[in-house]
Structure 1
Amino acid sequence: MLDIRRLRLLRELALRGTIAAVAEALAFSPSAVSQQLAVLEREAGVPLLERTGRRVTLTPAGEGLARHAEALLERLERASAELAATREGLAGPLLIGAFPTAARALLPAALTTLARVWPDLEPTVEEVDAADVPEALRAGDLDVVLVHEYDLVPGDPLPGLETEAVMEEQVYLAELDRTPPPPGRDPLLARRDASWIMGKRGTLCHSMAVRACEAAGFRPRVRHFVDEYPTVLALVAAGQGVALVPRLGVIDLPEEVRLTPVPLRRRISVAYRSGGGRHPAVAAFTTALKRAARPQPPERPGPARS
């Protein structure tokens, strides 16, 4: 009989490519991972791994079993969700991950709704980097995570995970109040000679801003690399450059900073393990989150980070 825990290790090896990466993601030692995969090979009765020096690759049989493991893990999530649905009420922990802007702008209202409707549910929030989302969900460290993507920077596929749309938001060009560009002229192109304030290199927000400028026909001159939107807006107000800011990031907007909509949107979704969307706690959180994300009239909101 094949052990589901060892099948999970095989699935992770198929996704990550190295035993060291699997061990780091699942908090095992590399030797423990190797030992468990060796046991799985004996259970399977055929070679699953091919070792060349220090490298390990999956054999065709290993790749096929990894695909079956993915399907089995999804069915287990569905089974767990169905069992949870037979219980009366919602109780126990719900582990939520979020990027900072959403944690500040959406989660308080969503958690208030959960506390009112399901007082025995115990949500715990953790800020997470986008790069850590897949492994945190697949490893069971989190149950549901808020993720985002931009028109020009679509999210990568998330093997073993599913996503559900929550909201879209407008992206704005933030700059010192001045005469707006002539009607019909691209507001980004009008600021091609300006200094720019962008997120740190390697972040989704940085990639979005660079690609937006390139799509407008120029390469931006970046002066500052800042992730926190209140700091970005303060730097804009200080005359340090212009920046692109999504609506949820418009916090404590300085009076002298003007926002101009640009043809760019940010999409926010929830991600969970495949098959886990029907879990009552995950579904209740998603419903509360969508309610919190309902469109609001323009305002000079209050704080967030990228």
Structure 2
Amino acid sequence: MLDPRKLRLLRELAQRGTIAAVAEALSFTPSAISQQLSALEREAGVALLRRTGRTVTLTPAGHLLVEHAQDVLEQLEKASAALAAVRSGPSGPLRVGAFPTAARVLLPPALAELSRAHPGLRPMVSEIDPADVSAALRAGEVDVALVHEYDFVPPVTDASLETEALFGEQMYLTNRATIADARDDAWIVGKPGTLCHAMAIRACQAAGFEPRVRHQIDDFDTVLAFAAAGQGVALVPRLAALTPPHGVTLTGLPLSRRTLAAFRRGYGGHPAIKAAVAAFHTAITHLPL
């Protein structure tokens, strides 16, 4: 019988690429991860890993088992959600991950709705960039997360997760009529590795140029303050542009950002997840989109 806990480690290795990365993410030693994966190979009766010096890659059998592991882990998540639904209403801790704009604009009314409808729930919010959400959900660091997708940027979730669409918002350009008009301007973009950074770079590339990046800032309030001070142009979403500072004009673009709720595949039926997503939808009705 294959151990689901070891299957989870194999899936993480397929996602993260190295035993060291898996160990760091799950708070184990690399030696412990290696021992567990070796035990999984003995259980499977076939080589799952190819070891060359310190490099470890999955064999064809390893890749095949990862595909089946995802199905097994999804069924276990469904079983956990079903058992939770048999018990009384949603209660206990609920770990929520959110990017800064959602944490500031959407979560306060959503948490108020959760407290009213399900006083037994104890939501705990952590700010997290959408690029890091998949790993955090798979590792069990968060239960549900708010993520976003931009035009020009592929989705950040993977096959181990499910998402539910929440809302979309238009993107705006500061102090210019079109992106092409900002060809010679300094740009304010997000930090490398974030979706905001990738979106801005690719939007400029689609307009035919590489942006001249001067500032790398993730907080949109700070981005707008820098734009007001003449430090560059930037792309900002609707919810970050509700009250632009003096000196900033905003032009709507045919670009959008879409916000989704993400959770582990099979876990969407858990009462706490269903309650959280319902609260998100209720809070959205009050947003000035």
TM-score w.r.t. length of structure 2 = 0.93
Q: Which moved more, 1:289-298 or 1:135-144?
A: 289-298
Residue 259 of structure 1 corresponds to which residue in structure 2? 250
Gaps of 5+ in 2: none
Report the structure number with the largest CA radius of gyration: 1
1:42 Cα deviation after fit: 2.1
State the alpha-carbon separation in 2 of the partners of residues 81 and 216 from structure 1. 46
Q: 1:295 to 1:192 in 2, by over 3 A?
A: farther
Q: Cα distance 1:21–1:111, how it changes in 2: closer, same or farther (>3 A)? A: same
1:57 equivalent to 2:57? Answer yes
Alpha carbons 1:230, 1:251 under 8 Å: kept: no
CA contact (8 A) 1:90 1:121 kept: yes
SS at 2:36's partner residue?
helix
Residue number in structure 2 paired with 1:237? 228
Mapped contact 2:129–2:194 kept (Cα < 8 A): no
Residue aligning to 1:303: none
Q: Which runs of 5+ in 1 are unaligned?
A: 182-186, 299-306
Residue 304 of structure 1 corresponds to: none
Matches within 5 A, 1:1-306: 1-175=1-175, 187-250=178-241, 252-294=243-285, 296-297=287-288
Contact residue 99 and residue 127 of structure 1 kept, 8 A: yes
Cα separation, partners in 2 of 1:264 and 1:196, compared to 1, 3 Å: same
Shift of residue 295, structure 1, vs aligned partner: 6.5
Matched AA of 1:17: G
Deviations 1:262-286 (A, max 9, x none): 1110011111111111111111111
Q: Is the 8 A contact 1:230 1:252 kept in 2?
A: no
- Specify the code of the residue in structure 2 equivalent to 1:139: A
Letter of the 1:25 partner, please give it.
A
Greater shift after overlay, 225-234 or 93-102?
Answer: 225-234
Instruction: Report the CA distance shift for 1:151/1:295 in structure 2 as closer, same or farther (over 3 A).
Output: farther
Larger displacement relative to structure 2 (266-275 or 5-14): 5-14
Q: Kindly, what percent of the aligned residue pairs are identical?
A: 62
Q: How far apart are 1:197 and its partner, in Å?
A: 1.9
- The total of aligned residue pairs comes to 289
How big is the shift at 1:105? 0.9
CA RMSD between the two structures: 1.8
Deviation at 1:48, TM superposition (A): 2.3
SS of 1:277 mapped into structure 2: coil
Structure 1 distance, partners of 2:211, 2:108, is 36
